[in-house]
Amino acid sequence: MELIQICENARTASRALARLDAGRKNEVLRACAKALTERSEYVLEENAKDLAAARAKGMKESLLDRLMLTDDRIQGIAEGLAQVADLEDPIGEVLGMKKRPNGLLIGQKRVPLGVVGMIYEARPNVTADAFALCFKTGNACILKGGSDAIHSNIAIVDILRATLEKAGVTADAVQLITDTSHESTGQLMKMNGYLDVLIPRGGAGLIRSVVENSTVPVIETGTGNCHVYVDESADLDMAVNIILNAKTQRIGTCNTCESLVIHEKVAEELLPKLAERLSAKGVEMRCDERALSLIPAGVPATEEDWGREYLDLILSIKTVSSFDEAVAHINRYNTGHSESIVTRDYGNAQRFLDEIDAAAVYVNASTRFTDGFEFGFGAEIGISTQKLHARGPMGLLALTTTKFIIYGNGQIRK
């Protein structure tokens, strides 16, 4: 089907979806969960085709694992749909109505965005997940998954659309672009007037390409060069725990700590014992000169290290001689994601929260908590590192907008 037709279908569907009440949407989501479980064999068959093709072209094991579905994983996807059904529906809430001096009653009502485009890579679970979040918020979605997962994605979308139709809801609530060429991605990014937002989910390359080429508004989900700063007043045992956790609990995520910043007054006491613990976990330490003198196992850091998101068992270590130097260093090199201070000083804690420019700023906690589920949103579309519209972990609210509703009785402007 032509992209323009897909876009028009989505626009039409979005009008109908905006009017569905929460009860109906939740029924449909639960029916979709049930259908996915019941038809898991079909999904597995199609997924096997994707896996065979991927193996044939020599895909790495770690990527094959991301592509692979199993009965358990399909069960997990279905449970995800049911969980979204259980969340509160944000649509329709009116945020504070005010009466103006001329008698106009003006309020802001929370409404769907309309049509959401999602461009993502090889994980087929994103297909069901993105649909669920968009559908719950009354949006139609147009999905463009990676070519490696095309059979799996077609199967999942088939099941979702059949379930929607059976429930008497427009199947165009979810449409998959099956033309997996780069050209079709390029076209999608220019569909102003049809798409209200485009959300890229995937690696840095994909996200950069969408930010650079899309004329449709984008929500940028980003990379994380996250720091832990150990202040001179820090509880050093707490610091060790937090750094270990932030660096090693799961190394491939955007909220993982990539750089340690440490006040020189506590470096001598902290670094040797911290280095031992990090070494035991296999972490390579890239150190500035002062840190290197305290960590025999360390290697020298280069300027480039301060700006790196390693996503690996590597940590850069920078010593500073003041709180101000720490703040300046972090604000210079961070990516606006998550930053933490370990301190016992009230003033420095408050200043860190004020002065660090990032989506999430912590006192005495691991950066690993930056996550929609950990923050209590019950769902996550991604973590925004831009400042417009949504910043930090995005739950259902990020897929909504507002409109002003105004009740009058004949008012005209003077």
Contacts with a second copy by CB under 8 A lie at 15, 18-19, 98, 100, 104, 106, 109, 113-114, 192, 196-197, 211-212, 215, 217-220, 235, 238, 241-242, 244-246, 249, 331, 349, 353-355, 357-366, 368-370, 374-376, 386-389, 391-393, 401-413
CB of 227 to a second copy, least distance (A): 15
Smallest distance, a second copy to C-beta of residue 129, A: 21
Which H or E run includes 261? strand 257-263
Q: How far is the CB of 364 from a second copy (least distance, A)?
A: 4
Tell me whether residue 70 or residue 192 sits nearer to a second copy (CB atom): 192
Q: ∠ at Cα 387 (319, 140), nearest 5°?
A: 135
- In the complex, minimum distance from the CB of residue 373 to a second copy, in angstroms, rounded to a whole number: 11
Q: Which of 129, 132, 118 is nearest to 176 (CA)?
A: 118
Q: Is 176 exposed, middle or buried (0-12, 13-18, 19+ CB in 10 A)?
A: buried
Distance CA 409, CA 53 (A): 65
Give the whole-angstrom CA distance, residue 387 versus residue 381.
Answer: 16
Nearer to a second copy by C-beta: 308 or 391?
391
265 versus 389: smaller Cβ distance to a second copy:
389
Cβ(314)–Cβ(283) below 8 Å: yes
3-state secondary structure at position 270: helix
Contact 309, 339 (CB under 8 A): no
User: Residue 156: which of 202, 125, 179, 200 has the closest Cα?
Assistant: 125
CB-nearer residue toward a second copy: 46 or 220: 220
Distance separating alpha carbons of residues 258 and 335, to the nearest angstrom: 11
- What's the min distance (Å) between Cβ of 110 and a second copy? 11
Q: Taking the complex as a whole, how short is the minimal distance between the CB of residue 66 and a second copy, in angstroms?
A: 21
- Distance in Å, CB of 210 to a second copy, minimum: 10
Structure tokens at 190: 């220019």
**201 pairs with which residues across the strands?**
120
Nearer to a second copy, 71 or 93 (CB): 93
Measured from the CB atom, is 127 or 221 closer to a second copy?
Answer: 221
Cα-based angle 176, 178, 181 (whole degrees, multiple of 5): 125
Q: Which CB atom, from 278 or from 359, has the smaller least distance to a second copy?
A: 359
